[in-house]
Amino acid sequence: MVTIEANNRVLEANEGETVLSALRRHGISVPTLCHMSDLFPSGACRMCVVEVEGMRSLVPSCAYPVANGMKIQTHSPRAIRARKTIVELLLANHPDDCLYCVRNGSCQLQDLSENLGVRERRYTGGRSLHDLDVSSPSLVRDPEKCILCGKCVRVCEEVQSVSAIDFIGRGSHTKIGTAFDGGLNVSSCINCGQCVVVCPTGALREQSHIKQVLDALSNPKLHVVVQHAPAISVSLGEEFGLKPGIDVAGKMVAAFRRLGFDRVFDTSFSADLTIMEEASELVHRVKNGGVLPMMTSCSPGWIKFVEHFYPDMLPHLSTCKSPQQMMGALVKHMYAERQGLDPKSVFLVSVMPCIAKKFEAQRPEMGTHGIPDVDAVLTTRELARIIRMRGLDLGGFEPEVADDPFGERTTAGKIFGASGGVMEAAVRTAYHMLTGEELAELEVKAVRGLEGVKEARLNVGGLEVGVAVVNGLGNARKLIEAIRAGRSDLHFIEVMTCPGGCIGGGGQPLGASRDNIRARMLGLYRIDGDESVRVSHKNPMVQRLYAEYLGEPLGERSHHLLHTHYTHRDVLL
């Protein structure tokens, strides 16, 4: 430990840590724009500069190490003046359209302008003009709002190992773009939206489906159905001032009904259905010498990652559709048929924590005879905007329950929202399928938590099964390379595209810390611990669905509705 002095306070710091890290641990706030706490500091934006006694220049606190006896002033007149100048220079080349921007009220550049007292334009000059990139089904890229902080580039390359975007051009012509400056649709982008999560301005945002949904709700000829993903209920409350991890499922269902949806279904139901099919597929592969390890197929960003970078691993992917798409197939077929509805008149809206779900819903494989399984996808943020737009008070609603036949779930389906949840739910049911008995301890603690890679060895009826859980595609790449190199001790692998799983998805509330994501995870596990039906194969409505409509897992009708295929995609390099 070393001793430093900051703003006339004596503090202890760890030898070798940065000034910014030491200050934040002691509750001293220093503004940043480019800093990413889990990555090596770049010191690019200089917003975090502080004054150190004895040094002629201001130093970037995010990249400067502490030293014993160091005396620091974080908000000296000189430091504040430097920060204000940086913001003023950024604004000199920034569009004046805050009232129209999706990040109005949640923009870091806007917040810094307010906090530093920027009240006039001191610098003027010719603005850089760029075209809007709307080519992606999931993302919109607005280079004119980009401040070149580089966070999107870093998360894409260093966390997700996709490298779909980078700095291109030189000097004042520098911008962030794709290979050959093409659209995102012809890049290696996997639509995860982690770039949106870290972007401090409105340079990156999701493709909005709000207008389509509102138009559908006002169309009397359409029967509008909504489904909500397992992770939504423990994150939506943050948009309305509630603590992360608070379950608002019942209030959210009430809000859906006030918005005018004809039916409200729970995607956790189709998560249970996914487990029935996926566990059956795993058991079939194990018993019949199928391709192992089998890898989950719930996360569309992960699927596109394999299609781009590891097409030789496609046979390892489960053929199961994601819970979103399984629900879509059931609504457009079984539900429409039994309600006497033309599938073309049924409009299905998904509320998802994931921007890549917008891409997944538009895949040509995800529909029948030109009718898509899912018509529109809202992120958690978009749902909150609609609720506020309609003047509804989420906290004031009495909880309500989702509708039959797809509203009943188990907690196994609910924990899908956290990294390790799919694996845990699948293990609970696969064990039952192989042994005819229930797991004595349903909590598979080895696969819980936010670690990037978690592994376990499970004894299932005398067979030792190796399982791995991965979140973040950089971690997935390392594991795939190990399998390519000959590793053969794993039978089943769960991969979630985003750090923490769906709870940390690209469509979730912005500004979430790792503690927020952990709180969402714990919220899902509290639900699992509090309820009685905790295995997917005991969901009575799933049992009834197989008895009355699907037949059996992996059967002909199940295969037609609930399974799909994937294909090799070229990468433009």
Q: b/e for 355-381, b at 16 or more Cβ within 10 A?
A: bbbbbbbebeebbeeeebbbbbbbbbb
The beta-strand segments (E) located in 401-545 are 453-460, 463-471, 492-496
278 is catalytic: yes
438 is catalytic: no
Closest CA to 419 of 458, 451, 442, 456: 451
206 is catalytic: no
Q: Nearest-5° angle of CA 268, CA 278, CA 272?
A: 20
Of the CA atoms within 13 Å of residue 454, those in its CB half-sphere come to 22
Q: Which member of 192, 298, 320, 354 is catalytic? A: 298
Q: Which member of 238, 277, 278, 408 is catalytic? A: 278
Q: Which member of 144, 239, 360, 424 is catalytic? A: 360
Signed CA dihedral, 189, 196, 209, 509: sign only: positive
Q: How far apart are CA 112 and CA 87, in angstroms?
A: 7
277 is catalytic: no
Q: Which member of 17, 114, 337, 365 is catalytic? A: 365
Q: Which member of 238, 502, 536, 558 is catalytic? A: 502
281 is catalytic: yes
Secondary structure (3-state) at 9: strand
DSSP string, 179-232: GGG--GGGSS-----HHHHH-SSSSEEEPP-HHHHHHHHT-TT-EEEEEE-TTG
Q: What's the one-letter identity of residue 229?
A: A
Closest CA to 353 of 243, 153, 192, 152: 192
Q: How far apart are CA 242 and CA 246, in angstroms?
A: 7
Signed CA dihedral, 139, 145, 151, 153: sign only: positive
Q: What's the one-letter identity of residue 452?
A: G
Q: b/e for 79-90, b at 16 or more Cβ within 10 A?
A: bbebbbebbbeb
DSSP string, 434-473: HHSS--SS---GGG-SS-SEEEEEEEETTEEEEEEEEESH
318 is catalytic: yes
Q: Which member of 136, 268, 297, 318 is catalytic? A: 318
Q: Are 2 and 15 in contact (CB under 8 A)?
A: yes
Structure tokens at 160: 């997700």
Q: How far apart are CA 168 and CA 38, in angstroms?
A: 25
Contacts of 37 (CB under 8 A, 6+ apart): none
Contacts of 345 (CB under 8 A, 6+ apart): 221, 222, 223
Q: How far apart are CA 201 and CA 94, in angstroms?
A: 10
Q: Which member of 206, 277, 281, 494 is catalytic? A: 281
Catalytic site residues?
Answer: 278, 281, 298, 318, 357, 360, 365, 502
